[in-house]
Amino acid sequence: MALSITNLSKQYSNQKTALSNFSIQINKGILGLLGPNGAGKSTLMKLIATISKPTGGSLLLDDTDIVQHPDAIRKVLGYLPQDFGVYPNLNAYEFLEYIAAMKGVGGPGLRKRIDILLEGVNLTADAKRPIGTYSGGMKQRIGIAQALLNDPKVLIFDEPTVGLDPEERMRFRQLIADLAQDCVIILSSHIVSDIETIADEVAIMQGGKLITKDYQQDIINQA
């Protein structure tokens, strides 16, 4: 699947222009969005996830306009928002069951799928403990697992490595590399070293604009 983003703009109701004539073509592989806080990364991701509507420009998934037809992306989308909230009294297994029900993911394979996902984010041993007792990194890993429930073809991770320790980061990189085999992945960070080791291509954003998408060390070092 490919995303064609053309002159995409978002002006919030407070007049703030968060995204300005943003254009990019996203094919297979991993695109990293790099930029300081307020650059427009979350805004762009919300527009692609159809959580929010653009005020200008177009967003195509293959040939389908997803502003007009959001279901076209929603059914193939996995999304980890930045302000991902969890339910402290549920354990990891119950939480994934709940999200699966909300997404309409079910059937006889669900238990197995949840087990595989928990294994993939290294939470099998803690799956019966309430999420409220988890560390920040464990909560983030549960957030990664919920994004994968529906076997997505487009994955959007907003600041996925926040709260992960070096070991968790290494595992995350491996997981992402595996998923990228048959998935378009977009992930954001304000940390250069996070993005440069994971992404195939890096788009640097600032002030709602795309500064460059050339992977050049000297440019990244300035970001």
Binder of ligand ADP out of 32, 40, 78, 143 (CB under 6 A): 40
**Spatial separation of the C-alpha atoms in residues 71 and 64, rounded to whole Å:** 10
Output helix, strand, coil percentages for the chain, rounded to the nearest 5.
Answer: 35, 25, 35
**Spatial separation of the C-alpha atoms in residues 141 and 119, rounded to whole Å:** 11
Site membership for ligand ADP, residue 42 (CB under 6 A): yes
If the CB atoms of residues 13 and 217 are measured against ligand ADP, the closer one turns out to be 13
Classify burial at 51, counting beta carbons within 10 Å of its beta carbon; exposed 0-12, middle 13-18, buried 19 or more.
Answer: middle
If the CB atoms of residues 130 and 207 are measured against ligand ADP, the closer one turns out to be 207
Shortest reach from residue 199's CB to ligand ADP, in Å: 16
Site membership for ligand ADP, residue 12 (CB under 6 A): yes
Site membership for ligand ADP, residue 41 (CB under 6 A): yes
Shortest reach from residue 103's CB to ligand ADP, in Å: 22
Residues contacting residue 78 through CB under 8 Å, at least 6 positions apart: 147, 148, 149, 150, 152, 154, 155, 156
Single-letter code of the amino acid located at 182: D
Shortest reach from residue 132's CB to ligand ADP, in Å: 25
If the CB atoms of residues 110 and 192 are measured against ligand ADP, the closer one turns out to be 192
**Spatial separation of the C-alpha atoms in residues 118 and 217, rounded to whole Å:** 35
Site membership for ligand ADP, residue 81 (CB under 6 A): no
Site membership for ligand ADP, residue 47 (CB under 6 A): no
Residues forming the site for ligand ADP (CB under 6 A):
12-14, 16, 18, 35, 37-43, 52
